[in-house]
Amino acid sequence: MKQILVLCTGNSTRSQMAHGYLHHFAGNRAHILSAGVETHGLNPKAVQVMAEDGIDISHHTSNLVDEYAHLPIDYVITVCDNAREHCPVWIGQAHVTHQNFTDPSRAVGSAEEVMDTYRAVRDQIKQFCREFIQQHVPL
């Protein structure tokens, strides 16, 4: 079984969304983990927009990447430039894929405009995750 780690700055939003979608698309063919170079807690807006698409991430926790240093990771997906720049050296043993997604927690505007930003980023992450699993964890 492949082991995939999604890495972001705070393991709050983008990496949590990717974790949810990767798990959804891979099923029992991969073990999915997510972490941050810092921890910011699970973002409630991320939980909300994922639930709108039928993916429950409400049970996820915000973890530091160092917690997984002892594990044999096959793939690391960095979902923001900051995580890519601060990716731990031990991760060099894994295949690293980078895809920067806009941080929706920095969105400004009305409440609806902010949520629209979260939904747009969610949809981009969903497509990326679907394609990643099709390519790297085939049936």
Query: Which residues have a catalytic role annotated?
Result: 8, 80, 87
Backbone phi, psi, residue 4, to 5°: -120, 130
Q: In 3-state terms, what secondary structure has residue 64?
A: strand
What order do you get walking across the sheet with 2-8 strand by strand? 30-36, 2-8, 75-78, 95-98
DSSP H stretches of helix in 43-110: 44-52, 81-85
